[in-house]
């Protein structure tokens, strides 16, 4: 009996020794993840703002990594360059908003969107509920506390709109963090016909204050605003690389955006969690899967998107000008902010949201859930308690453009943390063990889908 057990132990030890190299190459590394994040969120990268030296450093960093891991070019190039003509960049052109000589504080009191580039303007302000608004035949600004009511307005004479942040849509968090980049990306919230109308989001206190002013003065108050944006032309690049499969019939696209909001008010926004965490995870997944001896059945395309913060421009260009047939894309898995936790999971730091449109992506959620139940990597949250909020989040990162193209998609992210789009979003605030678990769970999902 003792000899038999001793023999069994030797077999087990031999198996473990033979398995160690496989485990080393098949698991993500916390050390590697942290090194990537430290680099991408360093001061040298200037918050990876669009059209800056910092984002060009990020491009070079990503390119170096995927070339070292011997990824294949996509359509004979690692770059997918495109032009954004006439895009108006807000920073450092900070808008001003003055109502009846009261100057509002940008970000704290209001947030601005729109493509206005005219000189400073002064306008009368009217409330949506004012019965005379239908008969106004001169330029005016409008204030409302209900974004859906803007659908009732003839915007022919409307030169600016003031809208209260709607807490039910967590607009306070979304707007203050600059998550929404332009009017094109919030058509689901604003129903105005002219996208060039400057739009100012006010916090509730400011909205109430000026609604009272309007009532008190019978609409006799003035709005003064500066240009929101300034014309410029930029030529950003998505970075693409591929692990070729045995067949080109299908491709799975893994994505993460590498741009961030840059420098605001003289302070660098490092963007460690948003989205150096997702980029680092993608680079680690590249390292692990590119070392696999077994070739996948289908292609794995790694897409590092740019201009996400401006309104999902990089992924939109990818889906509108896909380097591979769109019909061949079996799914998109998008990683955006995976190293923090949100207020709803204070006691569950090792969690991640994993969600996609149920009509097309249930199989992805079922697969990742099944794998996770076996591996226990993470606590998965499928937004079962709030499908409305889930669907809104789906429109706010790069998976949105795949979903619009009827491609199944899975969004992995940690929700909106208190550090989001702030200078305090540093590498020290990230949970690298959790990030490693997200990587390993994603790797297992990819293996299940294409190996």
Residue 213 clears pLDDT 90, i.e. is over it: no
CA dihedral angle for residue 384, residue 389, residue 391, residue 396, rounded to 10 degrees: -130
CA distance 140 to 122: 9
Would you state the structure tokens that stand for residue 223, as one six-digit string? 């709005």
pLDDT of amino acid 141? 61
- In which residue ranges of the chain is CATH 3.50.30.30 found? 88-230
Give phi and psi for 131, each to the nearest 5. Answer: -65, -20
pLDDT digits (tens, 9 = 90+) for 349-365: 899 999 999 999 999 99
User: Cβ distance 279 to 62 under 8 Å?
Assistant: yes
* pLDDT bucket at 212, cuts 50 / 70 / 90: confident
DSSP tag of 397 = S
Of residues 351, 377, 366, the one with CA closest to residue 441: 377
3-state secondary structure of 74: strand
CA distance 184 to 260: 19
pLDDT of amino acid 91? 43
* pLDDT bucket at 373, cuts 50 / 70 / 90: very high
Please give the helix or strand (H or E) that residue 352 lies within, else none.
strand 351-355
Sort residue 266 into left (φ over 0), alpha (ψ -120 to 50) or beta: left
Residue 209 clears pLDDT 80, i.e. is over it: no
Would you state the structure tokens that stand for residue 180, as one six-digit string? 């929404």
More confident residue, 82 or 161: 82
Please give the helix or strand (H or E) that residue 287 lies within, else none.
helix 277-290
- H helix intervals, 201-276: 204-217
CA distance 125 to 145: 14
Residue 408 clears pLDDT 70, i.e. is over it: yes
What mean pLDDT is reported for the chain?
79
Among 50-59, 261-270, 381-390, the range with the most confident prediction by mean pLDDT is 50-59
Of residues 41, 61, 28, the one with CA closest to residue 419: 41
Per-residue burial over 65-90, b if 16 or more Cβ lie within 10 Å, else e, is: bbeebebeebeeebebebebeebbbb
C-beta contacts of 104-109 below 8 A and 24+ residues apart? 104/202, 104/206, 107/176, 108/203, 109/202, 109/203, 109/206
| Mean pLDDT for the stretch of residues 48-63 | 95
| Mean pLDDT for the stretch of residues 255-269 | 90
Residue 341 clears pLDDT 50, i.e. is over it: yes
CA dihedral angle for residue 384, residue 388, residue 394, residue 396, rounded to 10 degrees: -140
88-230 folds as Glucose Oxidase; domain 1 (3.50.30)
- H helix intervals, 182-267: 204-217
- In which residue ranges of the chain is CATH 3.40.630.10 found? 27-87+232-450
| Mean pLDDT for the stretch of residues 243-265 | 94
**Triad 140, 143, 148: Cα angle to 5°:** 115
With pLDDT > 70 as the criterion, what percentage of the chain qualifies? 65
Q: What is the CATH number of domain 27-87+232-450?
A: 3.40.630.10
| Mean pLDDT for the stretch of residues 308-335 | 94
* pLDDT bucket at 196, cuts 50 / 70 / 90: low
pLDDT digits (tens, 9 = 90+) for 227-241: 545 556 789 999 999
Would you state the structure tokens that stand for residue 231, as one six-digit string? 């014309």
pLDDT digits (tens, 9 = 90+) for 145-168: 554 444 444 555 555 666 655 433
């Amino acid at each position: 009996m003792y000899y038999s057990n001793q023999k069994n132990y030797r077999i087990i030890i031999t198996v473990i020794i033979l398995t160690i190299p496989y485990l080393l190459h098949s698991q993500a590394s916390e050390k590697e993840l942290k090194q990537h994040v430290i680099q991408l969120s360093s001061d040298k990268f200037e918050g990876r703002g669009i059209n800056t030296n910092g984002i060009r450093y990020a491009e070079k960093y990503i390119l170096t990594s995927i070339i070292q891991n011997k990824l294949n070019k996509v359509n004979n190039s690692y770059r997918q360059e495109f032009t954004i003509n006439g895009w108006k960049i807000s920073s450092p052109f900070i808008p001003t908003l003055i109502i009846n000589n009261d100057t509002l504080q940008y970000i704290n009191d209001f947030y601005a969107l729109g493509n206005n580039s005219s000189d400073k303007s002064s306008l009368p302000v009217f409330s949506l509920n004012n019965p005379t608004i239908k008969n106004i035949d001169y330029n005016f600004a409008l204030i409302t506390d209900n974004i859906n009511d803007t659908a009732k307005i003839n915007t022919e004479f409307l030169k600016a709109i003031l809208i209260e942040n709607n807490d039910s849509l967590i607009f306070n968090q979304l707007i203050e963090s600059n998550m929404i980049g332009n009017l094109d990306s919030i058509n689901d919230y604003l129903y105005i016909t002219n996208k060039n109308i400057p739009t100012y989001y006010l916090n509730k206190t400011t909205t109430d204050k000026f609604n009272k002013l309007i009532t008190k003065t019978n609409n006799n108050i003035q709005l003064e605003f500066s240009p929101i944006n300034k014309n410029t032309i930029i030529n950003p690049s998505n970075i693409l690389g591929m692990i070729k499969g045995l067949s080109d019939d299908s491709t799975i696209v893994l994505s993460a955006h590498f741009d961030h909001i840059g420098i605001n008010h003289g302070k660098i926004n490092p963007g460690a969690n948003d989205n150096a965490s997702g980029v680092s995870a993608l680079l680690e997944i590249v390292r692990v899967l590119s070392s696999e001896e077994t070739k996948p059945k289908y292609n794995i395309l790694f897409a590092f998107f740019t201009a996400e913060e401006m309104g999902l421009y990089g992924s939109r260009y990818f889906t509108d000008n896909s380097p591979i047939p769109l019909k061949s894309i079996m799914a998109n898995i998008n990683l955006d902010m995976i190293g923090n936790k949100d207020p709803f999971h204070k006691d569950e730091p090792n969690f991640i949201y994993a969600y996609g449109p149920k009509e097309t992506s249930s199989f992805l959620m079922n697969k990742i859930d099944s794998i996770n139940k076996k591996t226990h990597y993470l606590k998965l949250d499928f937004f079962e308690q709030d499908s409305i909020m889930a669907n809104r989040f789906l429109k706010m990162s790069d998976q949105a453009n795949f979903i619009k193209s009827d491609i199944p998609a899975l969004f992995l992210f940690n929700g909106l943390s208190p550090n989001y789009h702030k200078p305090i979003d540093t590498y020290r605030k990230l949970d690298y063990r959790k990030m490693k678990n997200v990587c390993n769970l994603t790797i297992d999902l990819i293996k299940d889908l294409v190996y």
